[in-house]
Amino acid sequence: MHIVTGGAGFIGSNLVHELNAHSITDILVVDHLANAAKFRNLHGARFTDYMDKAEFRRAIASDSLGAVEIESILHQGACSNTLEDDGVYMMDNNFTYSREVLHFAIAHGAPLVYASTAAVYGLSGPGRFTPTLENERPLNVYGFSKLAFDHYLRHRIDEGTLPITAVGLRYFNVYGPREQHKGRMASVLHHFTRQMRETGKVRLFAGSGGYADGEQRRDFVYVRDLARLNMFFAEIGPYAPARGSASRRYQGVANAGSGRARSFNEVARVLMEIHGQVPIEYIPFPADLDGRYQHFTEADLASLRALGCSLPMTPIETGIGETYQTLAAIGE
């Protein structure tokens, strides 16, 4: 059985669908449906069981999931609201929960791949997005909570007490289908598309952070690429060892982005190729994001390649096109 935490969320649900695309359906989906709209992300998905996050945490604490062979744990469950300021809540969801999952994975000899974040880099500029201590300066408790678990994993690796595959993937700015439930935390692609449809124009930030109007730059990574990376490190489906071959033990923290920063202006132009031409309105940068906003991100993929992963990353022109083909197919 494969366990996908956060399995009804944006990244987790796309991971479930990607597993299904490779005929893998023995999946335990773990989530918390206080935001009930997330259930739509699993329309058409096949999985064998579902557990609420609280029930799952109790079950792994008491090792009471039953006599099932756990083939992998793909841990996407977390509080991803970068504006959440409740540090106790954030640390419980993003650090303590992840630590519990790691200990459970070790106890069962199961590979663990988990979601870290590029938010750990804070206001780093070009050339400063490598997973090294001097670059890790999160702006908020969300980034800190993720960094704390990265540190915990690194310590276990350094002291040689980690007997399983355990990889943290620092997701950059993720986009793709099935993010409509995320509200303000959805990607700019989702917001730009909604603006185009509802107002006949698209609103981008005016010059800020040293960048001209709409020229703030982000590393936009396609959610399906992240699903493939999870499967690669957990050796699932097409990435499983050949018959008779031994599994490889992957360990470390690596960036998971496209490797190329693209401006919001570029993203808007790509979307216009799909939705039609609309005017661009540049709006003042929101005061509540001052000092809490990354005006530039770009993944250095050397850490990913050093772990042995050479999977290509999808350019936004292709990824955005596939996103809207998928949304049309599922009626969103």
**pLDDT value at residue 307:** 97
Query: Catalytic one among 97, 114, 142, 175?
Result: 142
142 is catalytic: yes
Beta carbons of 64 and 119 less than 8 angstroms apart: no
d(CA 174, CA 243): 34
pLDDT digits (tens, 9 = 90+) for 35-49: 999 999 999 999 999
Residue ranges per structural domain of the chain: 2-178+222-257+298-313
Work out whether strand 262-263 and strand 173-175 pair parallel, antiparallel, or are unpaired.
unpaired
pLDDT tens per residue, range 263-299: 999 999 999 999 999 999 999 998 888 777 889 999 9
pLDDT of residue 197: 94
pLDDT > 80? residue 67: no
Confidence of residue 110 (pLDDT cuts 50, 70, 90): very high
Q: Which CATH class is domain 2-178+222-257+298-313?
A: alpha beta
pLDDT of residue 178: 96
Q: How confident is the model at residue 10 (pLDDT cuts 50, 70, 90)?
A: very high
Terminal Cα distance for the chain, rounded? 30
Of the candidates 182, 239, 282, 293, the residue annotated as catalytic is: 182
Q: Provide the pLDDT confidence category of residue 81 given band limits of 50, 70 and 90.
A: confident
**pLDDT of 278:** 97
> Has 182 been annotated as catalytic?
yes
Q: Is the pLDDT of residue 82 over 90?
A: no
178-197 per-position pLDDT tens digit: 998 888 888 999 999 999 99
